[in-house]
Amino acid sequence: MLTKLLVSEGELQTVELRLKSRKKRGKRTAAAVYEYIADYDGTWGELRFDLIKGEAEIIVLADNDAIKSRKFAVRAMECINTLRHGDPPERITLTFI
């Protein structure tokens, strides 16, 4: 609630991710697809992560806005890539200034 208020006031920027699907190799998650939204505004985009290789790609940009959405997608990819050794979370909200 506080995060959404700070975003609406322009004090904070966020990207929210929701796990859409995952592929497992043995007990380990090998790949994951996330939906993401920037600043709780507009349409959802989609990111695909290869957790074995440490690669990520933008499938669909949120809001179809390449400039605004790309920086949020890059931030999300950096965060998820740091979690390569564990299972990816179902939902996560990342904040930054």
pLDDT of residue 19: 93
Spatial strand order of the sheet with 13-25 comes to 55-60, 45-50, 28-38, 13-25, 91-96
Give, as one character, the DSSP assignment of residue 41: -
Contact 47, 34 (CB under 8 A): yes
pLDDT in tens, the chain (97 residues): 777 788 777 777 788 889 999 998 888 888 889 998 877 777 888 989 888 887 888 888 887 777 767 777 777 778 777 765 667 889 988 887 7
How is the chain split into domains, by residue range? 2-96
Query: What is the pLDDT, as a whole number, of residue 23?
Result: 92
18 contacts 93 by C-beta, under 8 angstroms? no
